[in-house]
Chain A
Amino acid sequence: MHRKNKTIIVLGIVAFVAFACPNLLAQDMPDSAAVDLTLDSIAVLDDVQVATGPAPARLDIVRDAEGDQGSSVTLTWHLSPDDGSGADNVTGYEIFRAESPEGEFESVGTASKGMSQFEDATTTDGVTYYYYVAAFSDAGSTPSEISAGVRSSPQWFNSKDANTLVIGLIICLSVIYFIFHAQKGKKFFLRKIAGLEAVDEAIGRATEMGRPILFIPGIMDMDDVQTVAGITILGRIARTIADYDTKLNMPVSRSIVMTTARETIKQAYVAAGRPDAFSDDMVHYLTDEQFGYVAAVDGIMVREKPATCFYLGAFYAESLIMAETGNSIGAIQIAGTAMPAQLPFFVAACDYTLIGEELFAASAYLSGEPKQLGSLKGQDVGKIIAMVVILILCGLFTLAAITGSADILELGNTLQGWFSAS
């Protein structure tokens, strides 16, 4: 037990260092596809001054947009001296583009005053473009110098996202590592989750009372991962229900969920050796409309009086309507969702609630398969990474605030920059 914890912590620290390193390296490697332009290479255009317009802006960098799918050039400029100060008459900037410095320039867009960046997302890859930006006011407009040629191109790797990739890899690899580890017969300790302990009892109760079990997989479609979680739990529960020979009623609000759930339940019944007991009618579609669905589910509840209700998936406002109605008919209710806003209602009105992450862990718990359980341990590594990063960075920032040291602050900011999503 003790050794293993150490392993996890070490892994966490290694992870933290590992994600930091590639970023350190990435800092020094400019994007090879980018064409940086400094002011030296910008031709000066001095014959188009408009006396009445504002002072011109100064083009700073014109280059291919980084880590994108091409067709995009980024321009940045220094604001016109008359923007926000001076004559303060700039109303905006207009960006012009041509395929040769002498060519016919056409407008590709405008930016509001105070803005110093523009992304031209309408370029054709491989074509060389020349740009200038014109500061305009009611009186007229003043162009900047024309930039040197720039070409847009798509990149094969989104360098801006390198840290996401590394962090993702570490978490995924630790999950995979523990899956394999568990498969080799390694036993893990897993804490109890009250809602899951109660599943068998809840199904048994319905059997004794001779009343049906209601299963609600949320109101979202299969493109929500919570629905997928709900359906995988259904697969485990259906097996028990088939064994107990209890009636299952599953109204759904999405047709694809209906198809998937039927497939899942059918196979559970086959596995239980009771394929004859399965019927497509166990799962029926009502409507895609959230409240139409809940109106009908409420009707089913008060008329059929299920002994047990499962609510596992993605829920919105309907959660409380269902849970309160279920409560009024005296059903045992087990809920689970990763919708933070609905958790309080389930906690208040249901007997057991799987909170957030527990929903995704539930199918692994119920399966009892070592490899599934192993993945849960992998998740814990993720939590350790989270805690270590928060600890280190809060520590650095606090230290910087107390000592007033700019170096520590700098270090903290750099690290924080690496651990950021965009």
Chain B
Amino acid sequence: MNGKQAASYVVLAIVIVAFAVSIVLKGLLVTVGAFLTLFIFSFLYKDNPYYKFAEHLFVGVSAAYWMCMGFWGTMVPNLFGKLYPPMVGPVMPALKDNAAEPFMLIPLILGILLLLRLSSSVGWISRWALAFIVGTTAGLNLIRYLRSDFIQQINNTTFSLYATGATGFNLGETLSNIAIFVSVMTGLIYFFFSKEHKGAFGVGARTGIIVLMVTFGASFGYTVMARISLLVGRMQFLFGDWLGMMQ
């Protein structure tokens, strides 16, 4: 136990010295960025106090970041600026001459209802706001998905299976078209809830699973690349901007 503790103090000392040296050589900002990067990466080895520090700092800073963005980006211009424009004059002069929009009282009231959640006696009133939110979500999404993901995706799947090119019949394309057709159909069959996956239907459903597995495998394989480029970006920062080892 004591040895372990001693080791951790040694590590801490090294980190502090390295940090100090880096500040002298590279400046504060790059140093902070580099050390926070290393702290996060240390999680790959195991959970440790440095990761905990970075994690807790991240939570605090980012929560405040989004609150400020929400306040200056939404609350001031879209609520107060619309409810009573002169009020935001001192901070956003461009808005002060706009016409007031009394309907903005609705979100104001709903927002306040939501805050009543803090009170135990009238807390249930916050449900009215929740009901509004969920109703909006349901109403908006119903048509959106119907239009773009149902109708339009079906529309995109209607084509001639028999393909011709400049030189007449095109076997490759025809086979691809048939494959798309069969794959979409069997994929849909897999999602059927009210029919047992037996007999011919079962064959369809099993083919559907295969299609889904190819899709997942392909997406996964495709993604490996994307994920690595993010790491490349970080490494460029560490080895280039910080350590200066890259051209």
Q: Do chains A and B touch in the complex (CB under 8 A)?
A: yes
Interface residues in chain A, defined as those with a beta carbon under 8 Å from any beta carbon in chain B: 5, 163-164, 167-168, 171-172, 188-191, 222-225, 228, 256, 259-260, 262-263, 285-289, 291-293, 295-296, 298-299, 302-303, 320, 340-341, 343-345, 347-348, 355-358, 361, 376-377, 379-380, 382-383, 386-387, 389-391, 393-394, 397-398, 400-402, 412, 416, 419-422
B141-185: contact bitstring with A at CB < 8 Å (1 yes, 0 no)? Answer: 111011110111011011111111000000000000000010011
Asked if A259 meets B160 with Cβ closer than 8 Å, knowing A291-B58, A295-B40, A340-B219, the reply is no
B226-240: contact bitstring with A at CB < 8 Å (1 yes, 0 no)? Answer: 010000000000000
List, in ascending order, chain B residues with CB within 8 A of A222's CB: 130, 133-134, 137
Asked if A397 meets B159 with Cβ closer than 8 Å, knowing A225-B138, A383-B191, A420-B152, the reply is yes
In this assembly, does B194 line the interface, its C-beta being within 8 Å of a C-beta of chain A? yes
B220 near A288: Cβ-Cβ < 8 Å: no
Q: From B23-31, B49-57, B81-89, give the one contacting chain A.
A: B49-57
CB distance from B94 to the nearest CB of A (A): 21
Looking at chain A's contact residues, the main secondary structure is helix
A228 near B59: Cβ-Cβ < 8 Å: no
Candidates B143, B194, B220; contact of A344 at CB < 8 Å: B220
List, in ascending order, chain A residues with CB within 8 A of B114's CB: 256, 259
Q: CA–CA, A345 to B216, complex, Å?
A: 8
B223 near A344: Cβ-Cβ < 8 Å: yes
Q: CA–CA, A357 to B150, complex, Å?
A: 12
List, in ascending order, chain B residues with CB within 8 A of A303's CB: 47
- 6 smallest A-B Cβ distances: which pairs? A289-B62, A393-B158, A292-B62, A397-B160, A288-B66, A287-B63
A390 near B194: Cβ-Cβ < 8 Å: no
List, in ascending order, chain A residues with CB within 8 A of B189's CB: 383
B161 near A394: Cβ-Cβ < 8 Å: yes
A386 near B137: Cβ-Cβ < 8 Å: no
A259 near B130: Cβ-Cβ < 8 Å: yes
Candidates B43, B46, B63, B162; contact of A286 at CB < 8 Å: B63
Asked if A191 meets B197 with Cβ closer than 8 Å, knowing A298-B43, A344-B219, A401-B164, the reply is yes
A390 near B142: Cβ-Cβ < 8 Å: no
CB distance from B165 to the nearest CB of A (A): 12
Q: CA–CA, A357 to B191, complex, Å?
A: 7
Q: CA–CA, A224 to B138, complex, Å?
A: 9
A259 near B192: Cβ-Cβ < 8 Å: no
Q: CA–CA, A260 to B46, complex, Å?
A: 34
List, in ascending order, chain B residues with CB within 8 A of A379's CB: 193
Asked if A189 meets B151 with Cβ closer than 8 Å, knowing A260-B130, A292-B62, A298-B43, the reply is no
B195 near A191: Cβ-Cβ < 8 Å: yes
Query: What are 6 residue pairs bridging A and B, where the CB atoms are less than 8 Å apart in the complex?
Result: A225-B141, A256-B133, A287-B63, A293-B59, A295-B40, A383-B188
Asked if A348 meets B220 with Cβ closer than 8 Å, knowing A419-B154, A420-B155, the reply is yes
